[in-house]
Amino acid sequence: MKPLDCFHCGEPVLTDTQFTTCINDQQQAMCCPGCQAVSKAIIDAGLSKYYQFRTEPGNKQNAIVPEELNAFCAFDLVEVQEDFVHKVSDTSTVSLSIDGITCAACAWLIEHKLKHVNGIIKIQVNSTTERALITWLPEQIKLSDILNKISAIGYQAAPYQVDEQELLSKKNSRQFLLKLGLAGFATMQVMMFALALYAGYFTDLELEFRDYFRWVSLIFAAPVVFYSALPFYFSAIRSIFSGRLNMDVSVSIAILGAYIASCIATINGNGEVYFESVSMFTFFLLLGRYFEQNARQKASVSSSNLHKLVPLTAHLITQIGSKDIPAKGLKVGDIILVKPGETVAADGVIIDGRSSLNEAMLTGEQMPVSKSLSCEVYAGTINIEQPIRVEVTAVGQDQLVAEIIRLQESASNNKPRVALYVDSISNYFTWTILVVAALTYLVWKIYWPEDAFWVTLSVLVATCPCALALATPTAVTCATGIFTRIGVIARTPGVFEKLTQVRHVVFDKTGTLTCGDLNIESTELIKATDETQVLAIAACLEASSLHPIAKAFESYRDPNFSVNQSLNHIGQGLSGEVNGHQYRIGSAAFVGASDIRNSKAQSIYLADESQILAKFILVDAIRCDAAATVKILKESGCRVSIASGDTSDHVEEVASKVGIKDVNKGLSPQGKLQLVRQYQTQSHVAMFGDGINDAPVLAGANLSIAMGSGAAVTKSSADLILLGDKLSRYTDAVNVAKLTEKIIKQNLFWALGYNLFIIPLAVTGHVLPYVAALGMSASSLIVVGNSLRLLKVRL
């Protein structure tokens, strides 16, 4: 029998009818307690309509853990809110990024859930950007309550850091839309009159009416030329000043030249008019740019949404007790208390207690580092075992994290520039056109002076750079669309060309080639007989610990086992009573086993009162597609290397498993950067990373790729972000980029071919205005159509 699908998220139900919710008088099966809780909250709020409206299933829920709910409280601190809340008199407004929006029904659901809550004045959910704009009264409701209400119906909301790219493109997009709409309206009108003029051209239209139509066209084309086409003029002026002509120079000359010439013809009542060509030309080009802009905007919105703001707070110890303050408010010399599971808020020295800290975000090392009295701890690292008191020694810009970020900034400032071949083609093309036009004018001026101007103009219009100017943007837009579909965010322009130029790929190890958390590779039974039982006992003991090792056992929890009096022996292990028997779990020394040290894998032992029961071997598992990706990269002729901050033998082991020969380990962020610089002398280098320690090297590489689960700092210095953490997405992206390059080349080839064919005709004065207009639109449409073929790619 086929298992039912969960009514909420559509995943198969494996728990039979353990979890159900009554929806419209029917018991519907759910796959997990999370989905059950969420669907119940939706029904209780009277929003059962959601299940009718939705076009996509909901997100799979992870049962909400109390820790997360506690974390929301930090958002209520006034100093924390300063960063992202906008206050007007007595109301506050915040923009939240919401994870889990799958379709418009989600937006409706969130709005209706919160609309009637006391204290919320306005809520607007945008399903395209996956964000909510909320205005509320702080006296009546706290921000943490709002976040809790949203998470109750199964969405995770958090403030986010707006990407710089997005700030720039948001205004641009709207401006583009206005200019495009206006050009569209005007072009339609001008075209109607152009039809009448063409009819008059082939039959005979009275001069009076012809001039009237021309005047009307002139009026309609004016806003297109003087408002819609502005971006082209600005870009042309910029490129003239920079000394490299781009396509916009010839575009601007053609638009302005044709318009002014047509005006003169209209006023004098002779010659030809090109109003419809000018309007259509502008409209087409704007359309291409608008799509490109939109694709870029989408990518920047996604990368902003990934950059969640997590407020860093600290328990400050004062004379009268302790109080919670934001990390920003700490001063050197303050004493803070860091509980297990919390993030250290500032660099400092331990003055009381001992514990182990997870410094993976700084070093990429997975295993916690034991620290005792007067050891240094760093902001951003996570305390694992015991509460410690820390005296703050550095705040703000003096901290280690800030050091690394500064290194990242300096690296990104001297990032190698990639010369884009499209720019150089447009440079030559523009020069050629201008020279040809000038020569044409001179020659005609000598022999047939009265026609010189018109022929020159037809050269400019007919050799329209339109198709050339559309060649790249349309292809890039389609490719960006595919990237979004396969879960790759392209953050910077020019990524497609870089992707095809990379000949050397460098991987970080932890979190990139490996999953970044420990897993149980194998269980050796020593005196025990039942593997599931020892795993359940171990999981039960480890339940209270925050150590990465404890996470490995999480999936083996069994509700039939419960633990009493569990004790945490720092740096050694845990002991406790499970179902009436004493057990100990931990290192060989702790349980009294004779251990043959295996440096490549972590092993821990489980023992009862008298004997050792089992040995668990733990590894940081390699991503399932790592080896395949490396193989494909090698086959395509790339060199592959590892650059890791880790010093253990695990690096070599991972390298041999995925098939990488060139291994560099124990590198500092600075060292990684130097290594990549050295590689760059030979070829273009792509760097993969996820931790803060990778940020500088990512900023310095020709092409940088961050994992979606990585640190925010890392993602903001990357060119590409791989969502869903599948390395194979990179090889897909390379394939798309290669295809894109092919399409761009075809487009350019076609555009150049068309121009080569039409130039001689135009120079000799054989191109009539309507032929020029026809050729121009046809060549543009062919280019756009060719780019659209990209969307049919199946990966």
Partner 1 sequence: MSIIYVLIPIAMLFVLIAICIFFWAVKSEQFDDLDRQSVSILFDDDKPVSTETKNTESKNTESNDSTPS
Residue from 1, 2, 26, 529 touching partner 1 (CB under 8 A): that is 26
The answer to whether 228 and 282 have CB atoms below 8 angstroms apart is yes
Asked if 56 is part of the footprint of partner 1 (rule: CB under 8 A), the reply reads yes
Query: Whole-angstrom distance between the N-terminal and C-terminal Cα of the chain?
Result: 32
Segment 604 to 663, residues that bind partner 1, using CB under 8 A: none
DSSP E strands in 114-191: the ranges are 120-126, 131-136, 156-159
Based on CB atoms, which residue is closest to partner 1, 24 or 678?
24
Question: In whole angstroms, how close is the CB of 143 to partner 1 at the nearest point?
Answer: 23
The answer to whether 462 and 762 have CB atoms below 8 angstroms apart is yes
492 token code pair:
């910077």
Asked if 117 is part of the footprint of partner 1 (rule: CB under 8 A), the reply reads no
Segment 269 to 288, residues that bind partner 1, using CB under 8 A: none
Asked if 212 is part of the footprint of partner 1 (rule: CB under 8 A), the reply reads yes
Backbone angles phi, psi at 493, to 5 degrees: -70, 160
Asked if 317 is part of the footprint of partner 1 (rule: CB under 8 A), the reply reads no
- Coil, helix or strand at residue 232: helix
Amino acid occupying residue 779: S
Segment 57 to 96, residues that bind partner 1, using CB under 8 A: 57
Question: In whole angstroms, how close is the CB of 499 to partner 1 at the nearest point?
Answer: 27
Residue from 44, 79, 530, 554 touching partner 1 (CB under 8 A): that is 44
Based on CB atoms, which residue is closest to partner 1, 29 or 476?
29
Residue from 71, 74, 108, 628 touching partner 1 (CB under 8 A): that is 108
Question: In whole angstroms, how close is the CB of 623 to partner 1 at the nearest point?
Answer: 23
- Coil, helix or strand at residue 565: strand
Based on CB atoms, which residue is closest to partner 1, 214 or 650?
214
What is the sign of the dihedral through the CA atoms of 514, 665, 719 and 465? negative
Residue from 1, 2, 25, 419 touching partner 1 (CB under 8 A): that is 25
Residue from 13, 19, 21, 23 touching partner 1 (CB under 8 A): that is 23
Please, which residues bridge with residue 307 across strands? Answer: none
Segment 125 to 144, residues that bind partner 1, using CB under 8 A: 125-129
Question: In whole angstroms, how close is the CB of 108 to partner 1 at the nearest point?
Answer: 5
Asked if 24 is part of the footprint of partner 1 (rule: CB under 8 A), the reply reads yes
Based on CB atoms, which residue is closest to partner 1, 22 or 624?
22
Question: In whole angstroms, how close is the CB of 776 to partner 1 at the nearest point?
Answer: 24
Candidate segments 22-30, 333-341, 578-586, 775-783, binder of partner 1 by CB under 8 A: 22-30
Backbone angles phi, psi at 773, to 5 degrees: -65, -45
Based on CB atoms, which residue is closest to partner 1, 48 or 519?
48
Candidate segments 122-130, 331-339, 430-438, 645-653, binder of partner 1 by CB under 8 A: 122-130
Other beta carbons within 10 Å of 139: 9
Based on CB atoms, which residue is closest to partner 1, 51 or 75?
51
Q: Could you give the C-alpha distances from 67 to 72, 162, 327, 341, in angstroms and in order? A: 9, 26, 19, 10
Based on CB atoms, which residue is closest to partner 1, 481 or 671?
481
Residue from 31, 85, 96, 107 touching partner 1 (CB under 8 A): that is 107
Q: Kindly provide the b/e burial profile for residues 31-46, where b requires at least 16 CB atoms within 10 angstroms of the residue's own CB.
A: bbebbbbbbbbbbebe
Based on CB atoms, which residue is closest to partner 1, 57 or 481?
57
Task: Please count the CA atoms within 13 angstroms of the CA of 542 that sit on its side-chain side.
Answer: 25
Based on CB atoms, which residue is closest to partner 1, 10 or 481?
10
Applying CB under 8 A, the site for partner 1 has a residue count of: 47
Residue from 73, 117, 216, 723 touching partner 1 (CB under 8 A): that is 216
Residue from 19, 75, 155, 220 touching partner 1 (CB under 8 A): that is 220
The answer to whether 576 and 583 have CB atoms below 8 angstroms apart is yes
Backbone angles phi, psi at 452, to 5 degrees: -55, -50
The full 3-state SS of 423-476, as one line of letters, equals: HHHHHHHHHHHHHHHHHHHHHHHHHCHHHHHHHHHHHHHHCCCHHHHHHHHHHH
Asked if 27 is part of the footprint of partner 1 (rule: CB under 8 A), the reply reads no
Please, which residues bridge with residue 23 across strands? Answer: 26
Site string for partner 1, 165-204 (x = CB under 8 A): ---------x--xx--xx--xx--x---------------
Site string for partner 1, 554-593 (x = CB under 8 A): ----------------------------------------
Amino acid occupying residue 365: E
Residue from 16, 17, 18, 53 touching partner 1 (CB under 8 A): that is 53
Closest CA to 585 of 523, 635, 637, 667: 523
Asked if 7 is part of the footprint of partner 1 (rule: CB under 8 A), the reply reads yes
The full 3-state SS of 612-674, as one line of letters, equals: EEEEEEEEEEECCCHHHHHHHHHHCCCEEEEECCCCCCHHHHHHHHHCCCEEECCCCHHHHHH
- Coil, helix or strand at residue 128: coil
- Residues near partner 1 (CB under 8 A): 5, 7, 9-11, 23-26, 43-49, 51-57, 103-105, 107-108, 112, 125-129, 174, 177-178, 181-182, 185-186, 189, 209, 212, 216, 219-220
